[in-house]
A and B are shown apart, each in its own frame.
Chain A
Amino acid sequence: MSHDHDPRAIRTEALERLLVDQGLITSAAIDTIIERYETDVGPLNGARVVAKAWTDSEYRTRLLNDGTAAIAELAIGGAQGEKMVVVENTPDVHNVVVCTLCSCYPWPVLGLPPAWYKDPAYRSRIVREPRKVLGEFGLTLDDNIEIRVWDSSAEIRYLVLPERPESVIDDDEEALAELVTRDSMIGVARIDA
């Protein structure tokens, strides 16, 4: 089916036309938003935060105490990042993030959520059987590791601070940031180096 004939495409175009005609928004403003989320905002921002926390223990403390403020120190912020909470993985605790009701996600540090994050299967099962679901992602955790599932609420957006791979000794922040994957910051993966 051509998207021209998709009723959802027609509806979208009709809504945009009506809003623009009333002077509520401009098509150029929509273009700007799309460009921002397609090119500027993405998991690299979160990776910078994680790499800094790995190399600067005072920053790490600030990040865990007040995620929003510490992330803003790196000039990262904006819609869906107004109230950030950072949860730290340790040898004993693994954190994973979900939005059970819809698709809340920390856009400024991770960009827009992947399809599976919005899927009903992930949203319901990660709460019910987190160990099993993480196993399906290829992440097998020992039984003695506690799994904490964080459900994004109306205001709070969570970011997981993954464990730094022990094998990486050099404190080059840029090189460290390249190791940090989006999935590790959602909590469905760990970082192996």
Chain B
Amino acid sequence: MTPLSDTTLLPADGPTAPPRANGELVFDAPWQTRIFGATVALCEAGRFEWPEFQQRLINAISAHEAAIDAETPGEGSDYDYWGCWLDAFRSLADAHGWAGAETLHDMEHELEARPVGHDH
């Protein structure tokens, strides 16, 4: 195969780096893996239909791209795909009453207040 390399399409390294071979990791951080797994698990449990999440993801990506364009025209390096996914999931959880803004904020606050090294 001819790997994508030395191109002007995308940066050579960093989060949007092109693949060098089949089967490279698609997640850059554990939270990305986790939010992906939670979304699919929740869908498979029949809690929502995928197109609903998909539309929220499209909206989040569209808003994110508009924000990036406003800040750095023509630059895609700050692109945060999994941040968009997380935003879409948060809005899904909010809309279904699973995690309203206040409830989520309280839980985040509780987790942040844990002592350093809590889970090591």
**Interface residues of B: mostly helix, strand, loop or mixed?**
helix
Q: A103, B81: Cβ atoms under 8 Å?
A: yes
B24's contact among A11, A114, A118, by CB below 8 Å, is which?
A: A114
Chain A neighbourhood of B65, CB < 8 A = 120
Q: Tally B residues with Cβ within 8 Å of A.
A: 61
A122 within 8 A of B: yes
The answer, yes or no, to whether B30 is at the interface (CB within 8 Å) is yes
15 A-B interface contacts by CB (under 8 A): A7-B108, A8-B29, A12-B34, A14-B99, A14-B107, A16-B34, A30-B34, A37-B37, A43-B23, A103-B57, A115-B15, A115-B26, A137-B7, A154-B51, A192-B2
Q: Chain A at the B interface: mostly helix, strand, loop or mixed?
A: helix
Q: A24-B47, A112-B26, A136-B4 are in contact. Are A14 and B108 (CB under 8 A)?
A: yes
A74 at the interface (CB under 8 A from B): no
| Nearest CB of chain A from residue B30's CB, rounded to whole Å | 6
Q: A136-B4, A136-B9 are in contact. Are A102 and B54 (CB under 8 A)?
A: yes
Q: Could you tell me which residues of chain B, from 39 to 74, have a CB within 8 Å of some CB in chain A?
A: 40-45, 47, 50-51, 54, 57-58, 61-62, 65, 68
Residues of A in contact with B, size category: 35 or more
Residue in A19, A33, A34, A139 whose beta carbon sits within 8 Å of that of B99 in the complex: A19
- Judged by a CB distance under 8 angstroms, whether A70 is at the interface is no
Whole-angstrom distance between the Cβ of A192 and the nearest chain B Cβ: 8
Q: A183 at the A/B interface (Cβ < 8 Å)? A: yes
Interchain CB contact under 8 A, B103 and A18: yes
Instruction: Give complex CA distance A193, B59 in Å.
Output: 42
B113 smallest CB distance to A (angstroms) = 11
User: Does A141 have its Cβ within 8 Å of any Cβ on chain B?
Assistant: no
Complex Cα distance A10/B108, Å? 6
Give the chain B neighbours of A188 by CB distance below 8 A: 4
Q: From known contacts A11-B86, A15-B35, A114-B26, infer whether A101 and B61 are also in contact, taking CB-CB under 8 Å.
A: yes
Is the Cβ of B98 less than 8 Å from the Cβ of A19? yes
Chain B residue, CB-CB nearest to A28: B41
- From B41, B93, B104, name the one whose CB has the most chain A CB atoms within 10 angstroms: B41
